[in-house]
Chain A
């Protein structure tokens, strides 16, 4: 299948691998985030992992959902999806690790900045991440959407795992951005 007709359903199916704890695709709203976090918290109670891991999963999910809420772009006109469409999956691997995957549309102009930022964060040692975290925390700037630019730094700092990502082209200017985070 070519990149241009890559299908949302196939991406979603790929994301839903392992033992799925929670999965969603559709419009993202503040209320949806509240409800999803409630359900995930309830489901995590039944998991046998340490509280420390459960807290980390919840934390990463909070950041990921905020990122989706603030930074998703609308789907291409040809695709019949809501303007606030995004997807996310929390699943458990064969080992004791968990995976959080998110997907949202993004316009081409933002890709390079995003790639550079993730690659930079992935390249840093724990000590460097902590220093960067404090530097960004302590600068007064907020982006126009209220994000502090800290989310991904803090996710990697806490999970100590690198972020993996992919961009699928959906025509000229539209891409689908997939982010995977392992929590173990």
Chain B
């Protein structure tokens, strides 16, 4: 499978999806006006990856800001990961947040409660 490697921009995050390594990373800001356009290739990639995932998939989500239209797209990403998890593969989700950013921690907890995969909440020092 082709890798997805996208450099971050002021409104869109850095993305690193690597099937060989079983790695899914989204980092930075996700505040585009059209989130669906940005996330569609990512979700399509995951739909392919679901068919033959690695035994262990490592997921690193480290967002500084994301808008509510991105939040739905991010949930779509998590739902694909949930499918992989339910097929008895290991999926490790690391949700990073800055130390006093309780809103970002809560956003992670909200996702965790919807998709039923345990998240590892990782606090970053500022």
Contact = CB atoms under 8 A, between A and B. Distances in A.
B125 interface: no
Interface stretch (A3-11, A31-39, A169-177): A31-39
Size class of the A contact interface (CB-based, 8 Å)? 20 to 34
A134 B110 contact: yes
Residue from B34, B36, B68, B113 having most chain A Cβ neighbours under 10 A: B68
Interface in B57-87: 65, 67-69, 71-72, 75
A158 B103 CA distance: 7
Interface in A42-98: 50-52, 55-56, 58-59, 62-63, 66, 69-70
A146 B101 contact: no
A148 B102 CA distance: 23
B68 A34 contact: no
B97 to A, nearest CB: 11
A112 interface: no
A168 interface: no
Main secondary structure of the interface of A (DSSP, over half): helix
A134 B34 contact: no
A177 to B, nearest CB: 19
Contact of B69 (A34, A52, A148): A148
Nearest to B37: A146
Interface in B103-125: 103, 110, 113-114
Given A62-B31, A134-B113, A137-B110, A52 B72 contact: no
Contacts of A134: 110, 113-114
7 contacts: A52-B103, A134-B113, A138-B114, A146-B36, A147-B68, A148-B68, A150-B69
